[in-house]
């Protein structure tokens, strides 16, 4: 792999939710001006608009079985150095084959994983330098730490003030913080313009419940308690929700379903309730609103750790679980109203994607500086050069 400093960058994108694809697209659309970019993902419908120069390679899902593995293979324990590594899944075999075949053909300068600790380790084994995208969570296990230690760099899609204090210094030393990457809030409308677009009253006190796309849906039973106690406000939900038979929905709670313009709804709201997926965090911080966060279950306690970071930074009122009575809602709103909007907005940088792309390009260039000096080049390995 001695093609020089302008070699391609490969980019694996996890297909759960939309945050991985949104930030990958934002970075790739800028990095493509510097060097070729190839995206690997099991889905194509989750990406926003991509520069036509960006190559996309569809791979099977690494996380969903195709058929059933033989019982003895299915029962094999997973070593501590791996997380999702079942045995006997042809989909994983084909995905890995597609990636390693590209490694051999493209001779890439860098491979980015967003996110897979296993693929980070695969790149290192294949002698390809990689960058691991960081997520919040309790990730001090051997699998994550092996991928982080083997990485040439770490990319954190959040502000440095939201870093987990327990992360070791050697990790932070090679981390680039891309605060707000993947969310373009520069064209966020005013509150008045957003309400006009949505045909909402300019005088109403509006609470927006923002449900993400990475889970099974926001439970609405707790929302009925909050809305019923907040009779002077109009509550709206957007996104996926999950209702229960025992609810008594009040008239001031309306479910709008999945929408294509969440920025308008966020701009129109006076107060916001949400979980803390990466995209949600960045959109709400960019808007600067009284904000209640209720973390959802995620692997490795990702949202619990992120909620702790938001609380430490003073940008959200955090509840460890959904409020179960009206008094708890009132206490959280008191805390949320004390948040300084300018502190929230400081968590997002408008040029985060451009900065991240430049960092990746410079990292790839620096890593391969002097490539080929005192070494066999790729032609020799293919038998095109003799002793």
Of 76, 98, 96, nearest to 86 (Cα)? 76
- Band the pLDDT of 214: cuts 50, 70, 90: low
Predicted local confidence at residue 94, as pLDDT: 96
| All structural domains of the chain | 9-183+349-381 (3.40.50.2000), 191-345 (3.40.50.2000)
Question: CB under 8 Å to 313, separation ≥6 — which residues?
Answer: 159, 161, 162, 343, 347
Beta carbons of 162 and 306 less than 8 angstroms apart = yes
Q: Is the overall model pTM greater than 0.95, yes or no?
A: no
Q: For position 18, what pLDDT does the model report? A: 80
8 A C-beta contact, residue 286 and residue 348? yes
Give the pLDDT band of residue 123 (cuts 50, 70, 90).
Answer: very high
Is the confidence at residue 301, as pLDDT, over 60? yes
pLDDT in tens, 136-190: 999 999 999 999 999 999 999 999 999 999 999 999 999 999 999 998 877 789 9
332-347: average pLDDT: 98
If you average pLDDT over every residue of the chain, what do you get? 92
Answer whether residue 373 shows pLDDT above 70: no
Residue range 219-236, pLDDT digits in tens: 999 999 999 999 999 999
| Long-range contact pairs involving 149-157 (C-beta distance under 8 Å, separation at least 24) | 150/120, 150/121, 150/124, 151/120, 151/124, 152/110, 152/363, 152/367, 153/359, 153/360, 153/363, 155/112, 155/114, 155/131, 155/356, 155/359, 155/360, 157/19, 157/23, 157/133, 157/181, 157/182, 157/278
Q: Examine the pLDDT at 295 and tell me if it is beyond 90.
A: yes
CB 112 within 8 A of CB 122: no
Burial class, 272, CB count within 10 angstroms (exposed 0-12 / middle 13-18 / buried 19+): buried
Share of the chain above pLDDT 70, in %: 93
Could you tell me what percent of the chain has a pLDDT over 90? 85
């Amino acid at each position: 792999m001695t093609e020089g400093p302008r070699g391609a960058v490969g980019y694996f994108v996890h297909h759960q939710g939309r945050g991985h694809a949104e930030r990958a697209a934002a970075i790739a659309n800028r990095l493509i001006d510097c060097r070729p970019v190839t995206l690997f993902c099991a889905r194509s419908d989750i990406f926003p608009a991509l520069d036509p120069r960006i190559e996309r390679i569809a791979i099977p899902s690494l996380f969903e079985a195709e058929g059933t593995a033989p019982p003895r293979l299915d029962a094999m324990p997973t070593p501590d150095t791996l997380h999702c590594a079942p045995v006997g899944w042809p989909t994983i075999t084909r995905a890995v084959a597609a990636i390693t075949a590209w490694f051999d053909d493209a001779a890439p300068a860098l491979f980015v994983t967003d996110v897979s600790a296993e693929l980070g380790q695969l790149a290192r084994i294949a002698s390809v330098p990689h960058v691991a995208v960081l997520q919040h969570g309790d990730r001090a296990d051997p699998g994550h730490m092996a991928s982080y230690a083997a990485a040439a760099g770490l990319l954190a899609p959040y502000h440095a003030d939201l870093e987990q204090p327990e992360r070791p210094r050697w990790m932070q030393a090679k981390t680039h913080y891309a605060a707000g990457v993947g969310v373009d809030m520069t064209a966020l409308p005013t509150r008045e313009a957003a309400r006009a677009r949505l045909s909402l009253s300019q005088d109403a006190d509006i609470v927006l419940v923002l449900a993400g796309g990475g889970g099974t849906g926001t439970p609405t039973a707790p929302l009925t308690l909050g809305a019923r106690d907040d009779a002077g406000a109009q509550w709206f939900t957007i996104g996926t929700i999950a209702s229960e038979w025992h609810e008594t929905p009040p008239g001031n709670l309306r479910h709008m379903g999945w929408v294509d313009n969440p920025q308008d709804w966020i701009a129109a709201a006076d107060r916001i309730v949400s979980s803390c997926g990466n995209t949600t965090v960045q959109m709400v911080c960019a808007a600067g609103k009284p904000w209640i966060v209720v973390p959802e279950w995620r692997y490795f306690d990702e949202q619990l750790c992120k909620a702790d970071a938001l609380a430490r930074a003073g940008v959200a009122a955090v509840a460890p679980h959904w409020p179960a009575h009206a008094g708890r809602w009132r206490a959280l709103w008191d805390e949320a109203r004390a948040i300084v909007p300018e502190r929230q907005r400081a968590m997002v940088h408008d040029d985060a994607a451009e900065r991240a792309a430049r960092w990746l390009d410079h990292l790839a260039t620096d890593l391969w500086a002097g490539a080929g000096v005192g070494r066999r080049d790729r032609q020799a390995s293919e038998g095109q050069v003799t002793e």
